[in-house]
Structures are given as C-alpha cells and as structure tokens.
Amino acid sequence: MKTIDLRSDTVTLPSPEMRRAIAGAELGDDVFGEDPAVNRLQEVAAEMLGKEAALLTSSGTQSNLVALLTHCRRGDEVIVGDQSHTLLYEVGGAWTLGGLGLRAVRNDARGRLDAGELRARIRGANDHFPRTGLICLENTHNQCGGAVLNEEDLAAVRDVADAHGLPLHMDGARIFNAAAALGVPVARLAAYADSVCFSLSKGLGCPIGSVLCGSREFIAEARRYRKMLGGGMRQAGIIAAAGLYALESMVGRLAEDHENARLAAAGLAQMPGVRLAPEPQTNLVYFTVEGWDLGRLVHRLGEAGVLCFDEGGRLRWVTHYGIERADIEEALDRTRSVLAAGG
C-alpha cells in the first residue's frame, strides 16, 4: 500500500533534476561572500520579489527572527497576528533571544489583522510605553487555512504602517502560493512590505532554506544577525543550487497543488460529518469531523496509509510536489472507508 503523506509540504523530496543541480553547484565560502551559487540565488530572489537584496537563511524561523532583530531595537514591541506562526510556532525566539515583545492583534478568518485593533495596539509617544517597532503579516496565512492576503488587504496595513512611520515585515513562507492563487507576480505582493521572507523547503521542494529580501542596507544588517544566530554557512551553494532550480522550475507548478487541494476539499465536504474549516484557497485543507476524536481518526487514517496532522481541533491535509491527483482520489477513498467503519 502506498503511503500518501499529507502532513506538510515540508516532506517534499528533491527531484532528480534538483539533485543534479545540487551536485553541479559551483561553491565557495559564503561567510566570505564567495559562494557563486548563493550569490546568484540571492540576486535572482531579490529580482523576483522586487527588492534590492536578499539573504539565504537556514529556515523560515531564522528568517523571521533575523527580520525582527534587524527592524527593531531591544525592548520594542512587534505587532503580530494572534494566529501567526511567529507568535505560536517559533519557540518564543523574539522575546527569548531578541528582548522583543510580541503584541497580538486578532486575525480574522481570512488571515487579515483587525484594522481597528491594529491601530489601537500601536503605542503612542509616552515614557511609560515600550516602542512599537514593527508590524508583521503572514501570507499565505497558515492557521487561517492557507488564506491569501490580496493587494487590497496589504495596502490597508501599509497605510497604517505609513501613518505611524513603522516598517512592515511579511512572513511569506508560502508567498509564491499566494501569488499563484491571485495570478499576480510575487513582486506585486512583496511591494507592500519592507521585508519579505519565503521558504524554499515547503512547496518549492528544496531540502533546506529560506530567503529574506529587503533593501540593501536592511540585508547588510540582517547578515550580521544571521551570523549571530549561527546561520553563517560556508559552502551553502549546495542549498542555494536547489533554491535556484526551484525558482526556475517549481514555482510554476504550485497551481497544481491548489487544484489538488480543491479536489480534496470537494471530496471531503461530501463525507458525513465533515466540514471544511475554512474552504481552501491554496494548498492547505483544514477540516473538522463530527463525532470523532480527531487523535483517533489521525491514527486510523495512518493505518490506512493516509498521513495527516491533528492541528488542535481540525485535521489538515497539505498538497505538494509528490502528491498527484490520483493520490488525492485514493486518499479520499481510504478516508471514506475509515469514516464508514466508524470510531
């Protein structure tokens, strides 16, 4: 029986072509700025996102922490969504390592920050208050079901940031999914933020890595913080070569993942007790199943060769490179049987 792994788009393995690109990479010492593949990846990424410069990091978590440290001073507050990855899943690095406070603003069901609450959370000038140093957005929004922030959503937050002279960072781990869903170049979305990071190791199918983009001055400073966090890597071209290949050859196929997610959602929605939570916009499908203990259901599905996670009250299926249309059909069949057999 074939295992269908829908736990995350991080389980993707490099394709044979990507492995060849890695094997053939021209290398140097990137801490000296001498790795040709890294330099090329950073140029290409900056160009695609419409920013002056870019920096390869080891992970999305590292990119976000480096961005927060670079934008802020110790003691500042960073405004984040209450469902954001940075607040919930990055080990508290911002306050533990950065001396930064994270101030949460409610995310609505579409991953947007509540506009009124956002304005209210920004600190005024007063000796009693910490300073607000940064506003963060997440696009696509993981916990909000892979929801896409469109240009109107982004412009609204940019206006607030500008009105208060604050920088805006976008956690764009899946920004290429957002661009694919909207049918716009990724630079159009990145334009609203001062800095944007995206993951190489999710839908783009690379083994490792994330890229942080911003102004030349921002990236020069970010480079120092990356080094401080232990992220100065030497012949990192073996990572960058995969990234370069992905930017050329993997971005264009993300729409397939979205199509498979819609297929999965349509099939799931017809099963008794299943409710989409919410309707998927990209490659993440969250759903609830009435009458089941979800931990037990995950276990039963696992026995049937369908792997997924219980994300605290919802199950999540993630489509990605390595999951074909036929795999979704098979996963739906197996799920139907598991549900029919009962809890």
Ligand X SMILES: *Cc1c(COP(=O)(O)O)cnc(C)c1O
Judged by CB under 6 A, the chain residues 113 through 152 that form the site for ligand X are 138, 142
Query: Which helix (H) or strand (E) is 306 found in, with range?
Result: strand 306-307
**10 vs 215 by CB, closer to ligand X:** 10
- What are the angstrom distances between the C-alpha of 308 and each of 200, 201, 238, 273, 303? 21, 18, 30, 18, 11
Q: Are strands 284-289 and 274-276 parallel, antiparallel or unpaired?
A: antiparallel
| Least gap, CB of 58 to ligand X (angstroms) | 8
| Least gap, CB of 84 to ligand X (angstroms) | 7
Judged by CB under 6 A, does residue 318 bind ligand X? no
Using CB atoms, what's the residue nearest to ligand X?
A: 60
Judged by CB under 6 A, does residue 201 bind ligand X? yes
Sheet holding 168-171, edge to edge: 53-57, 210-214, 195-199, 168-171, 132-138, 77-81, 101-105
Residue range at the interface with ligand X (CB under 6 A); choices 58-66, 73-81, 101-109, 184-192: 58-66
Residues constituting the chain: 343
**198 vs 292 by CB, closer to ligand X:** 198
Judged by CB under 6 A, does residue 283 bind ligand X? no
- Tokens 């001055």 correspond to 217
**142 vs 260 by CB, closer to ligand X:** 142
Number of chain positions touching ligand X (CB under 6 A): 12
Judged by CB under 6 A, the chain residues 202 through 261 that form the site for ligand X are 210
Out of 5, 35, 77, 171, the only residue in the binding site for ligand X (CB under 6 A) is 171
39-43 LR contacts (CB < 8 Å, sep 24+): 40/240, 40/244, 41/211, 41/240, 41/241, 41/243, 41/244, 41/247, 42/211, 42/240
Judged by CB under 6 A, does residue 199 bind ligand X? yes
Enumerate binding residues for ligand X (CB under 6 A). 59-61, 64, 85, 138, 142, 171, 173, 199, 201, 210
